[in-house]
Amino acid sequence: MSQIVFVTGANRGIGAATVAAFLEHGDSVVAGARDARAIERLPGISAASRERLLGVEIDVTSDRHVAAAMRATEQRFGRLDLLINMAGILPRPHDQPLEQLDFDQCREAFEVNALGPLRVARAALPLLRRSSNPRIVNITSGCGSLSGKDNGQFYAYGTSKAALNMLSLTMAFEFEKQGICCVALDPGWVKTDLGGANAELTPEFSAENIRRTTTELTLGSSKSFLLYDGKSLTW
């Protein structure tokens, strides 16, 4: 059975590849980006697949943008099966020591990486409740793992992703009785503008694994911190 999938941060990198992966497997996708015109220019998407694609303008820091995107989703598809909160930022330089840390960058990272997914998830709840297998997937990072911390870098990015992990777990506990699965998922170290040229994975490889893993999620998967291939990670 085909799914209705909403992906934020869908205009490039892992987000764009994830949109293409779901479309290729017959699902319908709402692709959100700050510039909705960028969705129209996504490569590698057939004309037939584009009939199942809805591009929406969304700034995850804006209540107004998020609400409008969900209204467009409701009008087109009527429900939502899977929300993938992909949009995120990595303030640079990532290795600023504390005495040089830019607190404005920290605030922006928290607004986009932590509060953004929370804002989108809240707005999506009415549509998710219409699904027979509703899932919320918050794209996090190994940098957000407390147990895996091994450096003095990534103040803004790492702490915002650690916050997202806690928010994911909190939502999982709240929505379990409503039948909504919520997990945090690490896409791996991917060759993107954020991950850099030395990263291990291609966006396409990560995206296909994300598609498979998130499609197979059930309520029993909730409260998990997963790698792109479905393996469990430590918080």
- Residue keyed to tokens 């909403």: 6
Q: Which of 155, 161, 191, 228 is catalytic?
A: 161
The pair of structure tokens assigned to 43 is: 């490569």
Q: Distance between CA atoms of 7 and 60, rounded to whole angstroms? A: 12
What's at 219, amino acid-wise? L
155 included as an active-site residue: no
The pair of structure tokens assigned to 112 is: 């986009």
Q: Distance between CA atoms of 118 and 108, rounded to whole angstroms? A: 15
The distance in angstroms from the start CA to the end CA of the chain is: 33
Q: Which of 155, 157, 191, 228 is catalytic?
A: 157
DSSP for 17-31, written as a single string? HHHHHHHHTT-EEEE
Q: Distance between CA atoms of 51 and 47, rounded to whole angstroms? A: 7
19 conformational bin, left if phi > 0, alpha if psi -120 to 50, beta if neither: alpha
52, 27 Cβ separation under 8 angstroms: yes
What's at 212, amino acid-wise? R
29, 3 Cβ separation under 8 angstroms: no
Closest CA to 219 of 185, 186, 183: 183
177 included as an active-site residue: no
Active site amino acids: 157, 161
